[in-house]
Amino acid sequence: MSLAEKSLETLTETEAAAELERLAGEIARHDKLYHEQDAPEISDGDYDLLRRRNNAIEAHFPELIRADSPSRKVGAAPSSGFAKVRHSKPMLSLDNAFDEGDVYSFFASVRNFFRRPEDLARVDDKTIEVMAEPKIDGLSASLRYENGVLMLGATRGDGVVGEDITANLKTLGTIPKKLSGKGWPAVIEIRGEVYLERDGFFALNAQREKDGEPVFANPRNAAAGSLRQLDVSITARRPLRFFAYAWGEASEPFAKTHSETLAHFKEWGFSTNDRSKLCHGIDELLAFYAEIGAVRAELPYDIDGVVYKVNDLGLQERMGFASRAPRWALAHKFPAQQAQTVLTDIIIQVGRQGSLTPVAVLEPITVGGVVVQRATLHNEDEIQRKDVRPGDTVVIQRAGDVIPQVVSVIKERRPTDSAPYVFPDHCPVCGSLAVREEGQVARRCTGGLICDAQAVERLKHFVSRDAFDIEGLGAKHIAAFWEEKLIQKPGDIFRLQASQLDGREGWGPLSASNLIRAIEARRVISLDRFIYSLGITQVGQATAKLLARYYRSFGNWVAEMEQAADPESEAWRALNDIHGIGESMAADLVAFFREPHNRDLVEDLRGVLKEITDYERVAVQAGSPIAGKSVVFTGTLTAMSRSEAKARAEALGANVAGSVSGKTDYLIVGEDAGSKAEKARALGVKTLTEQEWLDLIGS
């Protein structure tokens, strides 16, 4: 039985950590394919299953939550074709529900968030007001209006930074250039979904086919591709529409409920979904979900579920946000679709850290209007569990707009000469032994830097958008330069000369000059991007930012990592005490710096870069007295639940830690406080009563 199949109750801590590692890497890759490249490789349903599995393990093993956990991330970085825009308030994703049990659990978490009787009455399962809205399958966008005039339009991107597509959005007839009515704030960001109705989608594809152009797989991809046209006239010719359903920054309050907000949006000139409904209690919500599901095929646009939002904006504000999603909203997804096809081959891909990932090659099959040809098989355990073999007829599953996973094998259709698939024990690229360590699901090539696949993939990662983001140096160029010995390690990129590209296919004087200019522009890099670019095992974007925020400077980080090699050192204890790191991740960081070739690589980079800039802390709320402070809670709080207290602290820019250390700024002590209070006294950490804490933050 594979780790992916094992129940939570039977997972050991080691197995759970390994499974979370696999899920973090896989989900991050699919996020980038979906949000950044509009080229997904798995179905929405399969993607949701990955996130669901990740969240379930995190709930069962909270001490193993990774700093780069998918539960802390949204989307992927914006592409480089448009100017980048930092959202004044993050555009977060939503947590998902897949059955009624998930919906009941969500509302139980809403009730558990509050403590006071008057609040509990407002979130009672039978009476709580919730807006239910069809979940449109399109592209999220944010529109900034100043004094009623549209000034900026942007994509969601990674939730923090998006793309400036103002000119494209202004071509949409359903987006007002100037707000109508009255009562709108001086500054207001209207957020919603850009989409294509099915009739417009079919007409667009018919014209593209007539013109000899490739057709779009589905309306969502067509909307995304249309909106990201550098030629605005192309966007203007396509029948894009916009539904408004949320807002970001607002210079002043303008409503008390979400239903009132939607009414204002209509008054101001926006289209809102007329299928949305204000429901009272969970039973009414689930009845609405069933009703929308029954008429889903009759709607003029694609939807993949229903979104539930607590209607009371006061409750929304108090609940706030988790790392990647609001605590007051939920997306209830529809079931997946299935089809059958033949699996013609299984190929092995080698990742930058040596993982051997099996990929199923399928006979092309159309599922829900999308042609799919490949699907991941995850790992060798998955192949063995399902007994997948080349030549098998398989059931595949998808929901939405992407390629599915193999659900099962129809064994009665198996060819008579079929033989079990034997997973390779050597790397298909370099021939080195591929081993599987105890407790790990992945088999890894042991070739390290001698493995071309790993070396090339690491260089691709180094120049990727979330790392050094070197425009014009794509994956195919990295592979070619590696093959031709122009680039063998990251520092070589900054030693590249335009003259070295003379005469090479695809490189003229202008393109060579542009590349060198792009490389020069990256000789100054922020510390978090630098850390992420190194490709250290388990260190994703979130972890890199966490480390940069904690250590602040490049020199301090490197020195601390080298000292942390001693398990008895203060540096090792401090690394493990960072909330979100954990012993496994700390061990991988130390292991990276223990290798001489890695230290040489880092030192080589420091020599060719102009500056690795210190981390600049950005206060979440101006004037916050706890912005940048490390806060720990202990004991039972009386004025609010622990969840609400943590949410409030994070909203004010504090880092909420789980244990007390010498770097803790405040320990907030509730009733029946235990050992944390004693440790704080021993370390000289300032302790506050709950009331002193509330006075400090102005609550």
How far is the first Cα of the chain from the last one, in angstroms, to the nearest whole number? 52
The tokens describing 648, both together, are 């409030």
The tokens describing 471, both together, are 């425009």
- Between helix 642-651 and helix 100-113 the angle, nearest 10°, is 80
If we measure between CA atoms, which residue out of 359, 349, 431, 355 comes closest to residue 390?
A: 359
Contact 135, 308 (CB under 8 A): no
Residue 437's CB: how many other CB atoms inside 10 A? 9
Amino acid residing at 352 = R
- Whole-angstrom Cα distance, residue 244 to residue 266? 9
Residue 136, CA atoms < 13 Å, CB-side half-sphere = 26
| Residues in Cβ contact with 342 at an 8 Å cutoff, skipping those fewer than 6 apart | 362, 363, 391, 392, 393, 394
The tokens describing 351, both together, are 């990742």
Q: Cα 342–344–347 angle (5° rounding)?
A: 135
- Whole-angstrom Cα distance, residue 25 to residue 502? 38
- Whole-angstrom Cα distance, residue 483 to residue 469? 21
- Whole-angstrom Cα distance, residue 336 to residue 18? 27
Catalytic status, residue 545 = no
Sign of the dihedral through C-alpha 394, 399, 404, 407: negative
Contact 202, 301 (CB under 8 A): no
Sign of the dihedral through C-alpha 218, 221, 224, 230: negative
Contact 169, 227 (CB under 8 A): yes
- Which long-range CB contacts under 8 A does 203-206 form with residues at least 24 apart? 203/239, 204/238, 204/239
The tokens describing 667, both together, are 């320990």
If we measure between CA atoms, which residue out of 216, 210, 259, 260 comes closest to residue 240?
A: 216
- Whole-angstrom Cα distance, residue 532 to residue 465? 11
Q: In what order do the strands lie in the sheet with 277-280?
A: 96-97, 329-333, 303-310, 129-136, 277-280
3-class secondary structure, 341 = strand
The dihedral formed by the CA atoms of 556, 558, 560 and 565, expressed in degrees to the nearest 10 = -170
Contact 692, 667 (CB under 8 A): no
| C-alpha distances out from residue 650 to 19, 61, 129, 458, Å | 28, 22, 27, 34
Contact 52, 6 (CB under 8 A): no
- Is residue 284 within a helix (H) or strand (E), and if so which, with residue range? helix 282-295
Radius of gyration of the chain (CA): 26
- Between helix 198-210 and helix 219-227 the angle, nearest 10°, is 70
- Whole-angstrom Cα distance, residue 404 to residue 400? 10
| C-alpha distances out from residue 659 to 366, 455, 647, Å | 52, 38, 17
Catalytic residue among 135, 277, 386, 676: 135
Contact 2, 381 (CB under 8 A): yes
Strand-pair category, 337-350 with 149-155: unpaired
The tokens describing 50, both together, are 């990955």
Contact 138, 219 (CB under 8 A): yes
| Residues carrying an active site annotation | 135
